[in-house]
Amino acid sequence: MKLNKLSLSNQKLFNRYLNLLPHELAAFSFANIYIWKALYDINWAVIQDNLCIFFRDPLGCFMYLPPISGEVGPQVIEQAFALMDKINQNQDISRIENIQQQDLGYYRSLGYAVREKYPDYLCLRSELAQLKGNKFKSQRAAYNYFIKHYDYDVRRFNRLARSGCLDLFGSWVKERKSQCSDEVYCGMLEDNHKVIRAALVNYQQLNFTGIVVRINKAIRGFSFGYRLNDDTFCILYEITDLSIKGLAQFIFRQFSQKLKDYKYINIMDDSGLENLRKTKLAYKPARLIAAYIATKR
């Protein structure tokens, strides 16, 4: 089996497979896959007309997504596990991530052990854009505070903003780490520094869309993401100056208003972090999109 290193030139091929069936999880996007090159050696292979994507780091190898095709046969999954087992000294690391709810029964029927991963949070765009009603009272108050107290400018992200956004993210990470007592979370902050740099460097090629908020001509917030399908846009990152009250609520609402072609906004998963879970639930998602991990028994 030939493994190919992931490159930007693979985008058209990946999209052909990704578009064969509808997907709701944010992971099913070339942009989402590609940015992880900052942390993983990413390779892919086509096995019996199934696109198989393998992530590898010093700990071992796993599949970021299940095999992608119109129909996945059991032999494809077996071959994928055989490849991972050959690489992994500890075969417990061999796994398939981001299995969707509708495929859960199939993997179980083949004898694989399946456990739940962190779900994606799916919100109605119209609710985020309007912040109406009592359930959004606190977000609306923060938004109103910001527009009353700050002179701001909102523009689409462009390459000229990249340096300022990276500087802001560096300051954001430093501030978060100064308050951080969780070693895992601190490590995730550093990892995200690498990932967001990869995203911004390849922003145009990966078809990201985003906005930048300036206060006194300085970048104080930015947010960007990507189209998942005709109905759903995924907000990949939202970074703001933590000292500016209401800016986070302002940029989230502004971006949601600009995404009027979409019915839903996927605000990604919570990475198992309680504070992030509470923040996402505060925006009253319409539903959670389950994701699963399959391993051999």
Kindly give, in sequence order, each residue whose CB lies less than 8 Å from that of residue 99, ignoring residues fewer than 6 positions away.
66, 107, 114, 291, 292, 293, 294
Q: Choose the CATH number for 4-116 among 3.40.630.30, 3.40.50.1000, 3.40.50.920, 3.40.640.10.
A: 3.40.630.30
Q: Under a CB-based contact definition with an 8 Å cutoff, are residues 149 and 214 in contact? A: no
Q: Where are the domains of the chain?
A: 4-116, 120-268
Task: Look at 121-130, 181-190, 199-208, 224-233 and tell me which has the smallest mean pLDDT.
Answer: 181-190
DSSP tally for the chain: helices H, then strands E = 10, 14
Asked if pLDDT for residue 273 goes beyond 80, the answer is yes
- The DSSP code sequence of 172-220 is HHHHHHHT---HHHHHHHHHHHHHHHHHHHTTTTTT-EEEEEEETTEEE
Q: What is the pLDDT of residue 105?
A: 96
Asked if pLDDT for residue 195 goes beyond 90, the answer is yes
Q: What is the pLDDT of residue 190?
A: 84
Q: Choose the CATH number for 120-268 among 3.40.1190.20, 3.40.50.2300, 3.40.190.150, 3.40.630.30.
A: 3.40.630.30
What is the C-alpha to C-alpha distance for residues 211 and 225, in angstroms, rounded to an integer? 10
Task: Look at 98-102, 222-226, 272-276 and tell me which has the smallest mean pLDDT.
Answer: 272-276
- Tens-digit pLDDT profile for residues 108-160: 999 999 999 999 999 999 999 999 999 999 999 999 999 999 999 999 999 89
Q: What is the pLDDT of residue 2?
A: 83
Closest CA to 178 of 95, 272, 122, 243: 243
Q: What is the pLDDT of residue 70?
A: 87
Mean pLDDT of the chain: 95
Fold match between 4-116 and 120-268?
yes
- Tens-digit pLDDT profile for residues 66-90: 999 988 999 999 999 999 999 999 9
Question: Which two three-digit tokens encode residue 293?
Answer: 């991990």
| pLDDT band, very low/low/confident/very high, at 184 (cuts 50, 70, 90) | confident
- Tens-digit pLDDT profile for residues 146-163: 999 999 999 999 989 999
Closest CA to 140 of 151, 131, 127: 131
